[in-house]
Amino acid sequence: MLQLYAVPQFPEGVIFQQDGAPPHYGNIVREFLDTTFPQRWIGRGAVMAWPPRSPDITPLDFYLWGYVKQHVYSERINDINHLKQRITDVIHTVTPDVLTRVWEELDYRLDVCRATNGAHIDLR
């Protein structure tokens, strides 16, 4: 999926990040990432490691999943097709301005992480 659909959409020089889930850590996956994103991927086994269990600095965790869930289930879901449509509709409401604010929030969270030497903090 990554190779066929996502990578062709990425701009030149993009830095790719993934979590440390076992399917993402296989030799074939790491070889693909090393070839496709040389010195430019973040994750388990990469030159740039990503700390495990760190949802506070992962935009999908601290923003997107909660946003999608809140809006998808704001109305009763009738069947699987309705669920798929609701998810698609909600994802389309995420504007470039929202993504900019999420990026700024991530930047702030990383600054806090650096300033506290990675100590546990509550950003709520």
What number is the average pLDDT over the span 7-28? Answer: 87
Report which of residues 62 and 81 the model is more confident about. Answer: 81
Contact criterion met (CB below 8 Å) for 102 and 63: yes
Alpha-helical segments (H) within the chain: 27-36, 59, 65-72, 80-91, 96-115
45 pLDDT band, cuts 50/70/90, is confident
User: String of b and e for 15-50 (b: at least 16 CB within 10 Å)?
Assistant: ebbbbeeeeeeeeeebeebeeebeebbbbeebeeeb
* H/E run at residue 42: strand 41-42
Mean pLDDT of the chain: 88
Confidence at residue 117, expressed as pLDDT on a 0 to 100 scale: 80
Give the percent of the chain with pLDDT over 70: 98
- What's this model's pTM, rounded to 2 decimal places? 0.63
Tokens of 80: 């699987």
pLDDT in tens, 71-116: 999 999 999 999 999 999 999 999 999 999 999 998 998 888 888 8
